[in-house]
A and B are shown apart, each in its own frame.
Chain A
């Protein structure tokens, strides 16, 4: 236990000293500032234009803006997850940074677990803070509050935790650059799968639905993201609801119980595979 905390603390200190967290905080503040400014401008427009359409423009605007913020939050969370774990095993071993730690009695499994704890801790805290801030900005400036507040937060946090587990598995197999590219590619594949599902739902296409389903099971972080979007907009009904569903951030898929359970198992399997590969590798 103390070994685990020592490794996690070491990983955290490294990102603080390397100014990773400073850069992230400053740029995120810039993003949130822009988001608040944009939100305020958009809602001013909506109030001025005052109607004509048979739908609630305030709700449509709020849901779309918050959907956008959720996408950016996930994206930034993934960027952070990838860069915090990128070279944790193979990359650091190639540079000779890892060997002095591996030789100590704490062991390779604890080393990975400590890394996971630190990175997943930072990334989930990060998406929670950004999501909450965006939620408050949208609510306080535009008066839009989604039907569900907690579910999207948990889903986003789960999604980045899965990406951290995948990136750690990747780092036991690939050098830093290759791992970074691989994880971003998987992230892109997940997003594509999600979008195909949304289009499939709109067009009532079974093939697209199936493709999307396969992608969501293969990359369950996307299933969680879809679930977050769904929870955001699920209680909006009538014409406004249809309009939101057709927009780019209308969540098509409500993640079912089995896929949520699978997401947890998936992260566990990725972690176990990482432990196994690491235990067998020569450093």
Chain B
């Protein structure tokens, strides 16, 4: 069995006296798409930077595909787009990707570059220098750069912050494409809806700790069941989808006539706010 894309154990980081991470255990499975949520300053970027080998952990461990984070082997298996990144203005999209192909030791050549530019919708901008690109275009180029060399794990730190709604939807499609290709993704985002739609699993951090973890469905939890009867809508706030047949059977046995059943879902936003509030 191949090792998980990312495993952190009791990971801590202090910047001077500022504690950014206070013991995080997180796992990203092979080909899994995990969303990392949390308020500003929660430690999300720090966690990603330690994984990428940019920041040294104070204690604990982080392993990328079985290799210690920061080692050349670990860096060779990942792609990274920073929250605050910049590419040299004089470089064209194609040149930038070519530089990263060389540095990553990719043999993908021109075909890989064309494929990546197409994937992020920049095929027409291959010869455009970065300084003539909008921030959104640069962000898409950044995503393409992170995918150079077919990484097994892609770290995206708020990759859609500069994108318009169409751009965000395109990124969702791209994430799904990555899932199809079996690439593991750790996605930092403030956009709960986006995370809810594409991620297999969500981890919520607050104050440097993991405060909740699970699939979006598990985290959102049940929001009750509403049943339309002749008497009006009856609400069963603690019921879940699995309870519906029993509820309906019970009502019918009582002589109720059923016109409709609605399973109410909790939102990830509610779950997020609950988890973060509870931490305070």
Selecting from B33-41, B51-59, B186-194, B259-267, the interface stretch reads B51-59
Contact with B along A32-73 (1 / 0, CB 8 A): 000000000000000000000000000000000000000000
Give the chain A neighbours of B73 by CB distance below 8 A.
105
Give the chain B neighbours of A2 by CB distance below 8 A.
102
Q: Which of B82, B88, B90, B100 contacts A104 (CB 8 A)?
A: B100
Q: Which of B15, B78, B82 contacts A99 (CB 8 A)?
A: B82
Complex CA distance for A238 and B4, rounded to whole angstroms: 81
Complex CA distance for A283 and B105, rounded to whole angstroms: 23
- Contacts A17-B90, A283-B49 known; A104 to B103 CB distance under 8 Å? yes
Q: Is the CB of A97 within 8 A of B82?
A: no
Q: Closest A residue to B99 by CB, please name it.
A: A10
Q: Is the CB of B56 within 8 A of A97?
A: no
Q: Which of B78, B86, B88 contacts A103 (CB 8 A)?
A: B78
Contact with B along A106-133 (1 / 0, CB 8 A): 1100000000000000000000000000
Q: Is the CB of A99 within 8 A of B56?
A: no
Give the chain A neighbours of B87 by CB distance below 8 A.
97, 100
Q: Give chain A nearest CB distance to B13 CB in angstroms.
A: 9
Q: Is the CB of B100 within 8 A of A100?
A: yes
Give the chain A neighbours of B55 by CB distance below 8 A.
282-283
- Does A242 interact with chain B (Cβ within 8 Å)? no
Q: Is the CB of B52 within 8 A of A103?
A: yes
For B, the interface residue count at a CB cutoff of 8 angstroms equals: 29
- Does A6 interact with chain B (Cβ within 8 Å)? yes
Q: Which of A96, A106, A282 contacts B85 (CB 8 A)?
A: A96
Pick from B78, B88, B103 the residue with the most CB of A within 10 Å: B103
Q: Give chain B nearest CB distance to A274 CB in angstroms.
A: 17
- Does A14 interact with chain B (Cβ within 8 Å)? yes
- Does A185 interact with chain B (Cβ within 8 Å)? no
Q: Which of A6, A96, A102 contacts B86 (CB 8 A)?
A: A96
Complex CA distance for A283 and B109, rounded to whole angstroms: 30
The residues in A between 1 and 26 inclusive whose CB is less than 8 angstroms from any CB of B are 2-3, 6-7, 10, 14, 17-18
Give the chain A neighbours of B145 by CB distance below 8 A.
100
Q: Say whether chain B's binding surface is mostly helix, strand, loop, or mixed.
A: mixed
Q: Is the CB of B82 within 8 A of A100?
A: yes
Give the chain A neighbours of B15 by CB distance below 8 A.
282
Q: Closest B residue to A279 by CB, please name it.
A: B56
- Does A29 interact with chain B (Cβ within 8 Å)? no
Q: Give chain A nearest CB distance to B202 CB in angstroms.
A: 25
- Does B209 interact with chain A (Cβ within 8 Å)? no
Complex CA distance for A189 and B84, rounded to whole angstroms: 38
Give the chain A neighbours of B103 by CB distance below 8 A.
3, 6-7, 101, 104-106
Q: Closest A residue to B54 by CB, please name it.
A: A283
Q: Which of B56, B72, B76, B102 contacts A282 (CB 8 A)?
A: B56
Complex CA distance for A251 and B132, rounded to whole angstroms: 52
Q: Closest B residue to A14 by CB, please name it.
A: B88
Complex CA distance for A95 and B87, rounded to whole angstroms: 9
Q: Is the CB of B56 within 8 A of A96?
A: no
Complex CA distance for A196 and B146, rounded to whole angstroms: 55
Q: Closest A residue to B82 by CB, please name it.
A: A99
Q: Is the CB of A105 within 8 A of B105?
A: yes
Pick from A2, A14, A101, A283 the residue with the most CB of B within 10 Å: A283
Top 7 A-B residue pairs of the complex, sorted by shortest distance between their CB atoms: A104-B103, A17-B90, A105-B76, A96-B86, A282-B55, A283-B54, A6-B102
18 new A-B contacts at CB < 8 Å, known A2-B102, A99-B80: A3-B102, A6-B102, A10-B99, A17-B90, A96-B86, A99-B54, A100-B80, A100-B142, A100-B145, A102-B54, A104-B104, A105-B103, A107-B72, A282-B49, A282-B54, A282-B55, A282-B56, A283-B49
